[in-house]
Amino acid sequence: MSGVRIARLMGCALTAFGLGCAQPAEQAAEAATDQAAAAPNRQAEFGRFPDREFIRRNLAQLDWQPLEGNALGVERVILEGDPSKPGYYLTVNRFPPGVMSRPHFHAEERWGLVVKGTWYTGEGDEFTPSNTVPLTPGDYMRHPAGGAHFDGALDEEVLVAIGGYGPSGTTVIDGGDLFTRSK
């Protein structure tokens, strides 16, 4: 996948995660116009705008780290925030071919956007890779707080952008390892 395509998908992910959910086009345009009219001139007020720096990340050049509790090669890079602390975070998880998470849940809601590959997603507390829903680049999924699920890769490497509000935690339904072979 080209760097330009990854950058576009990450931009979509940031937009989706930042807004929480989509609005119809007319409502979004009207809300943006209302906000612009009501917004103070922050540059004049503070002498500069924005008050946070721009951040750019290239996935090919980032330091991927093994995700906790696995020996099967699942890795993560943190793009924004820190999942272990209060506040917004955005990560990208990399699943090697043939590796999935086992049934688990998170206390907080999380949002996922597929960046590369086909991400196979299942619901419930029974691990059934053959009974999953495939999501491809650009597809989105919300994990509701407390919702048991499992997900990962079958035949190819998968990259998934995951956002939420920390502190984040994972509870494996049967208390075992989080990751396993999908085949």
Residue 4's pLDDT is what? Answer: 45
Is the predicted pLDDT of residue 123 greater than 70, yes or no?
yes
Q: Give the residue numbers spanning the domain of 96.
A: 1-183
Q: What is the predicted pLDDT for the residue at 7?
A: 47
| Whole-number percent of the chain with pLDDT over 70 | 73
DSSP assignments along 130-170, one per residue = GG-EEE-TT-EEEE-TT--EEEE-SSS-EEEEEEEEES---
Whether pLDDT at 102 is above 60:
yes
Which string of DSSP letters, residue by residue, matches 94-115? Answer: EEPTTEEEPSEE-SS-EEEEEE
pLDDT at 55: 87
Query: Band of the pLDDT at 136, cuts 50, 70, 90?
Result: very high
pLDDT, average across residues 132-148: 97
Number of domains making up the chain: 1
Q: What is the pLDDT of residues 13-27, one digit of tens each?
A: 544 454 444 445 565
For the chain, give the percent of residues with pLDDT over 90.
Answer: 62
CA distance 84 to 144: 18
| pLDDT at site 34 | 62
CATH value at residue 173: 2.60.120.10
The SS3 assignment for 2 reads coil
At 32 the pLDDT is 57
3-state secondary structure 21-65: CCCCHHHHHHHHHHHHHHCCCHHHHHCCCCCCCCCCCCHHHCCCE
Tens-place pLDDT, residues 150-169: 999 999 999 999 999 999 99
